[in-house]
Amino acid sequence: MDSMDRRGIIMPDESKSSVSKLLVVLVIIAILLSTVALIVALISLTQQRGGGTNVTVARQSKEEQLITDEERIWNIAIGHYTSSLVYIHGPSGQLKGFHVDMINAVCRLANKNCRLVYDISQRCWDSEKGQLPRGGVGLMSGWYDACAGWIKSHTRARTFEFSKSWTKPVNYYLIIKTGNPKGFDRNDVTNKTLGFVDGFINDEFCLARQTSIMGSTLSTSQITHYQLPDDLFQGILAGEVDAGLAVCHNLPDGLTCLDDVTIDCSMDRSGAGLMLRMDNELTYWWDPALERLMQTSEYRQICQDINDVHGHLPGRAPKDMCIGLQ
């Protein structure tokens, strides 16, 4: 039956049906176009998150975000060595020292909120007698973003990333009791007992890489670990071990440094810096700020403060510590 439009014109039923079919077709086309647009958008987002050239763009935007982020608090763990590097200031109870001064200066220059967290060194890096060295529970578990004052080594580089160094490399030497009562041969440690500090870079694995020293690969029975350098020195004095591997400066009375045999335990002749997990982005802003700081007079003043402010405690001289100083 025919129907009438608003103008009073009679429309055939088949015309009305044609219009309805056209509207349905247009709606279906619109839905299809929307679906295609959604699929294209999802593919583009996936490419940005995955492989291809868009990865670099995503990383750059992340770096820019980290560089400009002023709200985040970056936690940096630091130990207590009772030296000019790090110590607890008695009257204030605060951590002081060269490493502390460097961290504060870099964070201030980068306009970052940094917080020093005291912890024992073994929670950054642990090396126990008879076991392979491994990451400490604190850094591995993300208790803090980085550990300060650590040197890159062959074993540590398998687990952690490192910032640029802010000190010169450190050389280590065999330490014996003055007078050499045990007849220690610096070129042959076969069947000798040696002491090391737990978690330090100058461990038995460093000694094993010294091919010029006979018997440098030690058995478990030849190894003794100590918690602190002072404990190692006392162990040598007490005759608990024949020798130890340590730095030569500020040795206690009764010990002698065999400084004609230099042992480098670092990788790439690295000095002290930050050690962090490989998934942490701290170095994005830290390294550029550190490089800027080391070009300023503030860095030279921080180095001079090793003597002027922290010189009441043992440690390396500024010229032996700071990069660029003679």
- Could you tell me the pLDDT band of residue 50, with boundaries at 50, 70 and 90? very low
Q: Which amino acid is at 270?
A: S
Question: Percent of the chain beyond pLDDT 70?
Answer: 79
Report d(CA 178, CA 323) in Å as an integer.
Answer: 33
**DSSP summary character for residue 122:** G
Is residue 59 within a helix (H) or strand (E), and if so which, with residue range? Answer: helix 54-68
Report d(CA 270, CA 161) in Å as an integer.
Answer: 13
Average pLDDT over residues 258-263: 92
Instruction: Indicate whether 213 pLDDT > 80.
Output: yes
CA distances to 120, 129, 279, 280 from 141, rounded to whole Å, are 15, 23, 12, 12
Instruction: Indicate whether 64 pLDDT > 80.
Output: no
Instruction: Indicate whether 244 pLDDT > 70.
Output: yes
**234 contact partners, CB below 8 Å, separation of at least 6:** none
**Per-residue pLDDT tens over the stretch 103-135:** 999 999 999 999 999 999 999 999 888 888 999
Q: Between residues 66 and 117, which one has the greater pLDDT? A: 117
Determine the pLDDT at residue 326: 77
**114 contact partners, CB below 8 Å, separation of at least 6:** 73, 74, 75, 76, 103, 104, 107
Task: Report which of 226, 240, 129, 243 is spatially closest to residue 190, judged by C-alpha positions.
Answer: 243
Determine the pLDDT at residue 80: 74
Q: Which amino acid is at 316?
A: R
Average pLDDT over residues 203-220: 95
Residue where the block lists tokens 């190894």: 223
Average pLDDT over residues 247-263: 92
Long-range contacts made by residues 237-242, C-beta under 8 angstroms, separation at least 24? 237/177, 239/177, 239/182, 240/193, 240/195, 241/193, 241/194, 241/195, 242/176, 242/182, 242/184, 242/189, 242/192, 242/193, 242/194
**Per-residue pLDDT tens over the stretch 5-17:** 444 444 445 554 5
Q: Between residues 56 and 276, which one has the greater pLDDT? A: 276
Average pLDDT over residues 62-91: 80
- Could you tell me the pLDDT band of residue 56, with boundaries at 50, 70 and 90? very low
Instruction: Indicate whether 38 pLDDT > 80.
Output: no
**34 contact partners, CB below 8 Å, separation of at least 6:** none
H-only helix segments in 77-176? 98-109, 137-140
**The model's pTM:** 0.75
**Per-residue pLDDT tens over the stretch 174-183:** 999 999 999 9
Average pLDDT over residues 303-321: 95
Determine the pLDDT at residue 35: 66
Determine the pLDDT at residue 49: 45
Extents of the domains making up the chain = 72-169+269-321, 172-263
Question: Percent of the chain beyond pLDDT 90?
Answer: 68
Q: At what angle do helices 54-68 and 283-293 cross, to 10 degrees?
A: 60
Q: Which CATH class is domain 172-263?
A: alpha beta
**Pairing mode, if any, of strands 194-197 and 223-226?**
parallel
**DSSP summary character for residue 188:** B
**Per-residue pLDDT tens over the stretch 131-170:** 889 999 999 999 999 999 999 999 999 999 999 999 999 9
Give the chain's mean pLDDT: 85
Q: Which amino acid is at 224?
A: T
Determine the pLDDT at residue 154: 93
Determine the pLDDT at residue 32: 67
Domain range 72-169+269-321, its CATH number among 3.40.50.2300, 3.50.50.60, 3.40.190.10, 1.10.20.140: 3.40.190.10
**Per-residue pLDDT tens over the stretch 69-82:** 668 999 999 987 77
Determine the pLDDT at residue 9: 43
Q: Same CATH fold, 172-263 and 72-169+269-321?
A: yes
Determine the pLDDT at residue 18: 58
**174 contact partners, CB below 8 Å, separation of at least 6:** 184, 186, 243, 244, 245, 257, 258, 261, 263
Instruction: Indicate whether 54 pLDDT > 80.
Output: no
